[in-house]
Structure 1
Amino acid sequence: MFAVERLGKVPYMETWDKQKELVKQIDQGLIPNQLLLLEHPHTITMGRGSHVENLLFSKEQYEQQGIRVVEIDRGGDVTYHGPGQLVGYPIFFLGEGNYDAHSYLRSLEEVLIRTLKHWGIEAGRKEPYTGAWVGDVKIAAIGVKFNRGRTRRGYITSHGFALNVNTDLRYFNMIIPCGIQEYGVTSMEKLLGQKVDLNEVMDQVVKSFQDVFGWDLVKN
């Protein structure tokens, strides 16, 4: 089972703190698995595998343009979050589905691929990278952390995915996204030629999570 919380537009640090608290509560068996769906204001995050050369400006220069730079504990390199991008944070106890790290990442990709198919967008995978791709351009990034349970044996996930829905793609020109220079990024808006209802995308994401993970949705 999992519960969904739609948070609107939330500062990055606020949701990072919320994720840590939810991990503790799930570890203690106090709440079911959680899926947070939201947007962030302009933020650049640097995962554990980040290389500073993938930042094309100094942190001060980013901040002068209203972009916060945050070093975080997920896997992966540098990426951008901002308005019009749907960010999903699944806080899942993997013991319930017998998932390992590899199968969990592939399942997240499958959720995104199925979601995009609803709009006729044929997304897929691109070895050796993670995420969802449309040809040679990335439409969704994935970066996660596996938190070792203290009360329950197994891992609890945090962080997650960022799907470009109506994202202003010009902000990606200010970094080397995920350290990948040879391929670009795209969005649903760019591919479809029109803006997409973010609430409808969230509805499809939730349905895809139910289909891929086989879990029931907790009704609020």
Structure 2
Amino acid sequence: MAPSPINSWPTFGTRWKSAPADERGSRVHADQGPTETAAPGFHRPPLVVRSLGVVPYEVALNRQRQLVKARQADETPDHLLLLEHPAVITIGVRGRAHPQHLLASRAELREVGIDVHDVARGGDVTYHGPGQIVGYPVVSLKPDRCDVRRYVTDLEEILIRTAASFGVEAGRVAGLTGVWVGNDKLAAIGVRVSRWVTSHGFALNVATDLDHFRFIVPCGLEGRGVTSLERLLGIPLSQTEVEAAVASEFASVFGRRVV
């Protein structure tokens, strides 16, 4: 099935305005999307944030490809896709060199309802599933952000700020990618950049079933664990509210205005 046209995808504002008032909180205005703190008169390029709900991995991958092609041709502005996946394990470029990081056979994983995909992003092996916010930024890094390491650091900063907005002190670990709380990874990052347009992105554990990480060596790192915002806080969180925080921090770090 061909991907649906980009302009038919739901926008962030649509889902946000339909959320119950007690899920919206004060972080984002329901009629405007994430609040902005730019100085008056400072021009911010547009960022379209689309909240897509639960999307099968292959469908999301096809949508990214469609959007990357359009962004490279300057036919569409920058986008941030926010969604959840059904249970899936993805293996990046580095992971294919280390098959031992997948701790069960693909047949065994299919039996428990987990698909496996080899993908053209950086990084090793990771798990996606319900309760996790997956972010796929499709943004142009030109003209002044053409630095992949800086881009990854910016994604980490967005997720660190998001965690802090819910009272969780997260940070970086020297020499490692992602966002950490102590020895445990809270968010994973794996990106692809083609002609300075980004794809793939990050996964933030909000209410993820962490037991599914037993099938992999997360990100190929022995001796480290995984955690989630709900595990750290001990209370349930609104997925919609966390998405709003991610979108707001993304716009702030990248100097964009959400449209």
TM-score with structure 2 setting the length: 0.81
| 1:145 has 2:192 as partner | yes
> 1:23 is paired with a residue of what secondary structure?
helix
Question: 88, 94, 99: which is aligned to 1:43?
Answer: 88
Counterpart Cα distance in 1 of 2:209 and 2:143 = 37
CA RMSD of aligned residues (A): 0.8
> 2:69 is paired with a residue of what secondary structure?
helix
The aligned residue for residue 56 of structure 1 is: 103
The aligned residue for residue 204 of structure 2 is: 163
Opposite residue 44 of structure 1, the aligned amino acid is I
Closer/same/farther in 2, CA of residues 89 and 48 from structure 1, 3 Å limit: same
| 1:24 has 2:76 as partner | no
Consecutive unaligned residues in structure 2, runs of 5 or more: 1-45
TM-score with structure 1 setting the length: 0.95
Give, in angstroms, the shift of residue 98 of structure 1. Answer: 2.3
Opposite residue 55 of structure 1, the aligned amino acid is L
1:46-125 map, 5 Å: 46-50=91-95, 51-125=98-172
The aligned residue for residue 57 of structure 2 is: 12
CA contact (8 A) 1:97 1:213 kept: no
Give, in angstroms, the shift of residue 39 of structure 1. Answer: 0.1
> 2:93 is paired with a residue of what secondary structure?
coil
CA contact (8 A) 2:169 2:181 kept: yes
Counterpart Cα distance in 2 of 1:96 and 1:205 = 24
Consecutive unaligned residues in structure 1, runs of 5 or more: 149-154
Length, aligned pairs only:
212
The aligned residue for residue 206 of structure 1 is: 247
Give, in angstroms, the shift of residue 24 of structure 1. Answer: 0.5
> 2:245 is paired with a residue of what secondary structure?
helix
Higher-Rg structure is 2
